[in-house]
Structure 1
Amino acid sequence: MQSTIDLLNAAKQAEPDVSNAEWTRRLGLSDRTAINVAENRGHLSPTLAGQLARYLKKPVAKWTALAALESARPTKATQDLRRLIERAES
């Protein structure tokens, strides 16, 4: 998985009968449209990514950081940080 939307897709594959509204409830999110908005934007918010990672027993800090980087304007600094995160997982 290289992007936060991949994390969401993995969750949906693991539990295909769960609706976006149910995922929102399970993750304890107050915004019932958070997952729909994330799908439209192509990336998760840091909060959504962190909660989903926690639910799936994935590294929360990694996914929260990736979500923050995906939301930021692309720069050399964000690219460097992304490479560091990806190297840390291997």
Structure 2
Amino acid sequence: MAKWTPKHEAPEPLEGPVVATITGGTILWFVLFLVQLPFYGWFDDHGHTWWVWTCLAGGGLGLIGVWYVRGRDAALKRAAAEADAGPSPAAD
């Protein structure tokens, strides 16, 4: 079998409001957790408590995601600013 190799260049990655998207998703996970919390007894009776804890885990992982994308965004902005400034003069 021959190894599959692409015959064209990969497209550029899409850049958008990544920080806002991840923040919105994280807020949504926490809202879903809070909405389900009053019905915990029903979820427990029907064996669906994992729904509640999945929403909490999604919110917690979303906080890590917000931290990561904010750092990434800051690093991209720093790199762009350094590229616009041009090469710095060498210190003797």
TM-score normalised to structure 2 length: 0.26
Larger Rg: 2
- Structure number with greater CO (CA < 8 Å, separation at least 6) is 2
